[in-house]
Amino acid sequence: MTFDAAFDWARRHVAAGRLPSAVLGVVSADGILALDAFSARTDDRYPLFSITKPLAGLTAARAVERGLLTPQTPLAEAVPGFGGNRDDVVRLRHLVSHTSGIAEPQLDTRDDLRAELVARGRDFAAGAATRYSTLAFTGIAAMIEHATGRSWEDELFDWATPVGATGLGFDVETATPVVDAGAVGFDVAGFAAQRNPGAGLAGRALDLLNIGGSLLRTTAGATDGIVAPATLAMMRRPLTSGIPALDPYPDERGSDWGFTWNLRHAAPGLIDTDVFGHGGWAGTEFWIHPGAGLAWVLLTNRAERPGVDIDALDNAVVSGR
């Protein structure tokens, strides 16, 4: 497996200006198979944006393994005042699957995120539909902290450092800048100050590749990874099947949500739909194909990317050509 087609894809998009830069890597359970950069260096750090979400999910799942949380734990246990204006109960399982119905602020809001959890109105009843939510991850972080007695960031770094994800951090202002942030009206400084639990991490391709390799070993039965095999299997179970999927992830996108993982099991553009992972706002991608024994990472830095079809890259990686 050379992955020449995948790296040619990245090279073409950078050369054509559709992507300002790119770092692309592929990993198996045995280690990194390929890594290259275009108009960048392979160890450059990028804002990961929503790839932060499954990393927070792994942190919450580790608390579940320790008997400190369950998917049924109510958010109100960790956030006093939450739910006073609702007639339903928002639980961890709703937060991790984008089914909490908490109305969403702008990603770059400067308002306090935990105050927003309490103050925001209800979009829909918990579990009645799925609409993508970053604010929900502020709730997940609060639940981790309430359950463990430690900051959720410390809980994250406890597992990230041993697997080799040593470049992760919340210093997004020092990472590779998003070239069109100003043009789309994104407040970088305001966003960075939030240390957003659903979008605030920066890191290297190597960090995500090391995480991907560890998770591939777990899918093959290894018991010394970030979470136990049974826990990762739980995280990959669909939680949103059979309920309305609202924008920006409508039904025709062919995906469900598991425990913070995007499960693209019916994506019409993919060769291999045995896949879980996540993308980020400025074009970052992290996807794991257990059956193919591969995971891949793309780091880039443009919010608006016309002409860029990530399914084409995924297919090129899976084919190995």
The string of pLDDT tens digits covering residues 283-293 is: 999 999 999 99
Confidence class for position 217, pLDDT limits 50, 70, 90: very high
Q: Is the dihedral of CA 27, 33, 39, 44 positive or negative?
A: positive
Q: Which DSSP string corresponds to 41-96?
A: -TT--EE-GGGHHHHHHHHHHHHHHTTS--TT-BGGGTSTTTTTT-SS--BHHHHH
Confidence class for position 99, pLDDT limits 50, 70, 90: very high
Q: What is the average pLDDT score of the chain?
A: 97
- For 314-321, what is the mean pLDDT? 97
What pLDDT score does 25 carry? 98
CA atoms within a 13 Å half-sphere pointing along the CA-CB vector of 219: 22
Domain boundaries, the chain: 4-319
The string of pLDDT tens digits covering residues 9-24 is: 999 999 999 999 999 9
Cis status of the peptide bond prior to 248, with omega within 30 of 0: yes
Q: What is the CATH number of domain 4-319?
A: 3.40.710.10
Q: Which residue has the higher pLDDT, 85 or 236?
A: 236
What pLDDT score does 122 carry? 94
Residue 19: which region, alpha, beta or left (left: phi > 0; alpha: psi -120 to 50)? Answer: beta
What pLDDT score does 124 carry? 96
Rounded percentage of the chain residues whose pLDDT exceeds 90: 97
The string of pLDDT tens digits covering residues 256-268 is: 999 999 999 999 9
- Closest listed residue to residue 92, CA positions, set 147, 157, 170: 147
The string of pLDDT tens digits covering residues 37-93 is: 999 999 999 999 999 999 999 999 999 999 999 999 999 999 999 998 899 999 999
Tokens of 215: 């998770």
| 260 in Cβ contact with 93 (< 8 Å) | no
| 252 in Cβ contact with 264 (< 8 Å) | no
Whether the per-residue pLDDT at 252 is higher than 90: the answer is no
The string of pLDDT tens digits covering residues 71-85 is: 999 999 999 999 988
Distance (Å, rounded) from C-alpha 18 to C-alpha 252? 25
Whether the per-residue pLDDT at 198 is higher than 90: the answer is yes
- Closest listed residue to residue 205, CA positions, set 280, 292, 147, 112: 280
Instruction: Using DSSP, state whether 272 is helix, strand or coil.
Output: coil
Confidence class for position 121, pLDDT limits 50, 70, 90: confident
Distance (Å, rounded) from C-alpha 88 to C-alpha 116? 18
- Closest listed residue to residue 286, CA positions, set 2, 11, 6, 52: 52
- For 214-226, what is the mean pLDDT? 97
- For 103-111, what is the mean pLDDT? 95
